[in-house]
Structure 1
Amino acid sequence: MANINDIAKRAGVSVSTVSRVLNQHPYVSESKRAAVQRVIDEMDYTPNRSAVDLIRKETRSIGVIMPYNNNQAFDQLLHGVLNRSVEHDYSVMVLPTKYDPDKELSCLNMLKNKQLDGIIITSRSNAWDAIVPYTKYGTIVACEFTDHPEIGCAYMDRYASYVDTFQLLKDKGHSRVAFTTARGEESNSTQLTIKAYQYIFGDLPPAYHIRDCYSMDDGVRAARQLLTMDLRPTAVYANGDEVATGIYQYARSIQLEVPEDLAIIGQENQPVGIGLRLSTVDHQLVKVGEQAFDLTIKKSKDKVEIPYHIIVRQSI
Structure 2
Amino acid sequence: TVSRVLNRHPYVSEDKRAAVLDAVRKLDYVQNLNAVHLIKGKTSMIAVVLPYVDNPYLSSPVEGILSEANRRGYRVVLCQTNYRPEEELKVLEMLRMKQVDGVIITSRTNDWDVIKPFLAYGPIVVCEDAGDEPLSCAYIDHYRSFETGLRYLTAQGHRHIACCIGRRNSNTSLARERAVREALAAVQEPLRPEWIFYDALSMEA
TM range (shorter): 0.7 to 0.9
2:191 equivalent to 1:204: yes
Question: 1:154 aligns to what?
Answer: 138
User: Helix, strand or coil: the match of 1:155?
Assistant: coil
User: Helix, strand or coil: the match of 1:119?
Assistant: strand
Structure showing greater relative contact order (alpha-carbon pairs closer than 8 Å, 6 or more residues apart): 1
Number of corresponding residues: 201
**Percent of aligned positions with the same letter in both sequences?**
41
What aligned pairs does 1:93-242 form with structure 2 within 5 A after superposition? 93-148=77-132, 150-184=134-168, 186-202=169-185, 204-218=191-205
User: Helix, strand or coil: the match of 2:53?
Assistant: coil
Q: Distance in 2 between matches of 1:149 and 1:29?
A: 51
User: Helix, strand or coil: the match of 2:39?
Assistant: helix
User: Helix, strand or coil: the match of 1:177?
Assistant: coil
Amino acid at match of 1:188: N
Query: Per-residue deviation at 1:145?
Result: 2.3
Question: 1:80 aligns to what?
Answer: 64
**Alpha-carbon contact 2:163-2:195 (below 8 Å) kept:** yes
Q: Distance in 1 between matches of 2:137 and 2:159?
A: 35
In structure 2, relative to structure 1, the CA distance for the partners of 1:116 and 1:148 (3 Å cut) is farther
Question: 1:35 aligns to what?
Answer: 19
Two-structure CA RMSD over aligned residues (Å) = 2.0
Unaligned runs of 5+ in 2: none
Structure (1 or 2) with the larger CA radius of gyration: 1
User: Helix, strand or coil: the match of 2:138?
Assistant: strand
User: Helix, strand or coil: the match of 2:34?
Assistant: helix
Query: Per-residue deviation at 1:216?
Result: 3.3
Query: Per-residue deviation at 1:110?
Result: 0.2
Cα shift readout 1:164-187 (whole Å, capped 9, x = no counterpart): 111111111123322111221x21
Q: Under a length normalisation based on structure 1, what TM-score does the superposition of the two structures give?
A: 0.59
Amino acid at match of 2:79: L
Unaligned runs of 5+ in 1: 1-16, 219-316
Q: Distance in 1 between matches of 2:196 and 2:76?
A: 36
User: Helix, strand or coil: the match of 1:94?
Assistant: strand
Question: 1:3 aligns to what?
Answer: none
Q: Under a length normalisation based on structure 2, what TM-score does the superposition of the two structures give?
A: 0.88
Question: 2:74 aligns to what?
Answer: 90
Amino acid at match of 2:82: K
Q: Distance in 1 between matches of 2:17 and 2:162?
A: 66
